[in-house]
Amino acid sequence: MSIDMTAAMRRALAAVRAQDPMGATREIQAALGGGARPDQPEPAATTPPAALPRASKWRRDPQVEDAEILDEKAGQGSDAADTAEPLSLFERLKAQMSGCVDCGPATNSLSGALPNALAGAFAGLPGQLRPAGRGVVPGDATVPEMPEGAQFLSRSHSGPEGARNYRLYIPSCGAARVQGLVVMLHGCTQTPEDFARGTGMNAAAEAADLAVAWPEQTRDHNMMSCWNWFEAGHQQAARGEPAILAGLTSALCAEFGLGRERCFVAGLSAGGAMAAILGETHPDIFGAIGVHSGLPAGAAQDMVSAFSAMRGQGAGRAAAATGPRLIVIHGDSDRTVDISNAERILGSRGEDAAPAEDEAARPYRRRLHKDAQGRVRAESWIVSGAGHAWSGGRPEGSYTDPAGPDASKGMIRFFLQDG
């Protein structure tokens, strides 16, 4: 990460302390976009007064402030302040942001300036796809519609590494007749309910008598409810979120009497990145995985490398040829997670194939990746003109692109086909 990002983080932190979240937004937007720092702030008229927080709404944690004082003393008489790690600055920025209570659109705009798969909803950035549907707000917990006899249960799973609440969709056929399980990992700022409405995965699963689990990542686990795919402590089989999610999946597959070949996981953005990690850490649990607008396992080890990975400058490991089967879906106009990440997940070119979903308004390129025996091990869709949103999703949910081919139906088809 260049010193420009360090400087941008420092200026953003100063802006937040000065109760100017919009100024912090501009600093980070410029850094992430690779552009030069604006010489002057935008005219005040561009920011409605109601969008700015009142001073009384800012509350600082005394411990955080003490840490800042110690930091400043340590830097006196040296150039330490100018060479501080961007990661440390980002953590301090998060701490300051956590002290803002109900700061409204201005604070949300700052959150939007941070990478979606890390700490916010990139859809808030100028030029990015915004939440679809009038009045749709990321994180809305309204329950999706479902057919008579189906259930959308609230549950919790606990294990040695921690606990997560989750929603469980049981199709109208009843629990005794469930034919498979799909675990769906939402993106940043979303809730299980919001993600379920937007993807329409429950309806796609209903047609195949599949159950769907919707684990919840909250602000207790990440400032913007992101799965922590970029932290080393959450990239190992026996630790962190992979262990929690694998334990949840194993428990449900045992409950429904399902073998590995009928247990699947998929996710969007940060959720897609975590799905890729699960495919690597727990190939014994998942028969297939779906990664929508995500990143490969090992793409980042901390916040600093995550910035690079999302911009297409990271590494990451291709999915193992002997691991779970894989379907990857990515828009070629995604400005949040660079499309090169889809190529890194697959690790090979594959061969062209006819589109599997013919009713979409957006054209897309479908490729199949086969093993030496000619069996399809992976499938990829590159959707023309699509941004960072669930392809073929519904406007009732956030971060969806209704014009794209139906990713939910495509994943179910791929999951259930023979490898």
| Tens digit of each residue's pLDDT (9 = 90 or more) over 121-164 | 333 222 233 344 444 656 667 888 899 999 999 999 999 999 99
pLDDT at 106 over 60: no
pLDDT for the residue numbered 130: 39
Please check the confidence at residue 343 and state whether its pLDDT lies above 80.
yes
**Domain chopping of the chain, boundaries:** 3-113, 151-416
Sheet holding 351-353, edge to edge: 151-159, 162-170, 210-215, 180-185, 263-268, 288-292, 325-331, 376-383, 364-370, 351-353
Tell me the C-alpha to C-alpha distance, in Å, between residue 396 and each of 191, 207, 260, 411: 13, 20, 32, 20
Question: Mean pLDDT, to the nearest integer, of 331-352?
Answer: 88
Whole-number Å distance between alpha carbons of 332 and 387? 7
Query: 411: pLDDT confidence band, cut at 50, 70 and 90?
Result: very high
CATH of domain 151-416: 3.40.50.1820
Task: Please give the pLDDT value at position 57.
Answer: 32
Strand pairing class (162-170; 180-185):
unpaired
Mean pLDDT on 338-348: 90
Q: How confident is the model at residue 24 (pLDDT cuts 50, 70, 90)?
A: low
Q: Which of 45-59, 294-308, 338-352 has the highest mean pLDDT?
A: 294-308
What does the pLDDT look like over 377-394, one tens digit per residue? 999 999 999 999 999 999
Rounded CA gap, 208 and 211, in Å? Answer: 9
Give mean pLDDT, residues 273-300.
96
- The CA distance from 363 to 108, in Å, is 33
Q: Say how far apart CA 314 and CA 256 lie, in whole Å.
A: 39
User: Distance between CA 338 and CA 310 in Å, rounded?
Assistant: 6
- What are phi and psi for residue 344, nearest 5 degrees? -70, -35
Task: Confirm if 137 and 191 have CB atoms less than 8 A apart.
Answer: no
Contact 330, 339 (CB under 8 A): yes
Please state, rounded to an integer, the average pLDDT across all residues of the chain. Answer: 77
Q: How many Å apart are CA 79 and CA 275, to the nearest integer?
A: 42
- Cβ burial 170-196 (10 Å sphere, 16+ → b, else e): bbebeeeebebbbbbbbbbbbbbbbbb
Percentage of the residues of the chain whose pLDDT score is greater than 70:
65
For the four alpha carbons of 340, 345, 347 and 348, in that order, the dihedral sign comes to negative
Q: How far apart are CA 85 and CA 3, in angstroms?
A: 9
DSSP state of 378: E
Q: Alpha helices, DSSP H only, in 147-269?
A: 192-199, 201-206, 240-256
Q: How far, in Å, CA of 288 to CA of 180, rounded?
A: 12
User: Structure tokens of 321?
Assistant: 């040829």
| 375, 390 contact by CB (below 8 A) | no
When pLDDT is cut at 50, 70 and 90, the band that residue 417 belongs to is very high
* 13 — pLDDT class (breaks 50, 70, 90): low
Q: How far is CA 157 from CA 26, 164, 214, in A?
A: 40, 6, 12
Residue 23 confidence class, pLDDT cut points 50, 70, 90: low
- Nearest alpha-carbon partner for 288 in 253, 323, 241: 323
Reported confidence tier of residue 77, pLDDT bands at 50, 70, 90? very low
Q: Are 267 and 345 in contact (CB under 8 A)?
A: no
- CA-based nearest residue to 325, from 235, 274, 261: 261
Q: pLDDT band for position 53 (50/70/90)?
A: very low
pLDDT of 193 > 60? The answer is yes
* Neighbour tally for 78: CB within 10 Å: 9
Q: CA 13, CA 91: separation in Å to the nearest integer?
A: 10
Cβ(278)–Cβ(182) below 8 Å? no
